[in-house]
Amino acid sequence: MKEGNKSRKGNRVLIARLLLFSAVFLLMSLSIGAAPSGPDVISQYTEEAPAQPATNITTAGGTITTIVLNATTQNPHWKAYVGNITGRLALRDSTNYTIYDWGVTTPTGEVYVTRNDSISWVNITCANSTHVATEETAMNHTATAPDSISNTFSKHNHSSFYTGSISFAKDQCNFTTNTYVNSTNQSTAFQEVLLYDGNSMVYTTIVEDNKYGFDFGLYDFQLIVAEKGWEGPVTSTPYYFYVELV
């Protein structure tokens, strides 16, 4: 009888320990942040500035004319993406079956753009000068040029944000910029930050909510990414998009 009591007591202790272990495992699982995921592209429209017409200068024969020419040329070393975000927050299993979801009416989070279709989100960190130099070499950007990656992302101010479970404090990253609002340079909205996952540069912009963008239109995000700076015909560089809604 005593042996039976001891056995039942031992079983209860074992069950209690298993339940405790399960609870701890569940809490650990819940603490893991969801990684950014690839979005569906609902619509796409690409445009570029038209070439400016030639300027006529008429001077008399037998004269010398000194002039200063001011020109704006479309920059082939960069390209931009702007747009809006729709989506849902969902609870899904590994086969994408949904048990519940919530529509997102006020998007917050980040848009990530990179040349790699596989990012190690657990290793994501702020890009440093070595990472930027590597990207400049890959994209044929001259570091000393005014439109190089390092000179374009020359700010170091941004809001705090998370990528998955990794936290980035305010102004933690050293390579940031802001795309324009109403065709004007500014330093508040549409923050863009360079991140790195150990192999690839990740151009990251913090999502806004229906704010005026570069052309007086209302957008949730704007960002620029590097393009290969070769002269002559160049094959366009494909970029992969990821979105994280919070």
166-213 per-position pLDDT tens digit: 999 999 999 999 999 999 999 999 999 999 999 999 999 999 999 999
Return d(Cα 43, Cα 46) in angstroms, integer. 10
pLDDT band at 37 (very low <50, low <70, confident <90, very high): confident
Task: Give me the chain's average pLDDT, please.
Answer: 87
| Structural contact between residues 107 and 220, judged by C-beta atoms closer than 8 angstroms | yes
Q: Strands 176-178 and 191-196: what pairing?
A: antiparallel
pLDDT band at 4 (very low <50, low <70, confident <90, very high): low
pLDDT band at 51 (very low <50, low <70, confident <90, very high): confident
Return d(Cα 101, Cα 242) in angstroms, integer. 19
pLDDT band at 33 (very low <50, low <70, confident <90, very high): low
Amino acid in position 154: S
Single out the residue of 151, 149, 162, 158 nearest to residue 189, CA to CA.
Answer: 158
pLDDT tops 70 at residue 10: no
By CB neighbour count within 10 A (0-12 exposed, 13-18 middle, 19+ buried), where does 112 fall? buried
**Reduced DSSP (H G I as helix, E B as strand, rest coil) percent helix, strand, coil of the chain, to 5:** 20, 25, 55
Query: What confidence tens digit (pLDDT) does each residue in 125-169 have?
Result: 999 999 999 999 999 999 999 999 999 999 999 999 999 999 999
DSSP assigned state of 140: T
Residues in the chain: 246
Give the mean pLDDT of 44-73. 88
pLDDT band at 110 (very low <50, low <70, confident <90, very high): very high
The pLDDT score that the predictor gives to residue 114 is 98
Domain coordinates in residue numbering, the chain: 78-245
Return d(Cα 188, Cα 158) in angstroms, integer. 9
pLDDT tops 50 at residue 40: yes
Amino acid in position 42: I
Q: Which two tokens stand for residue 164?
A: 């998955």
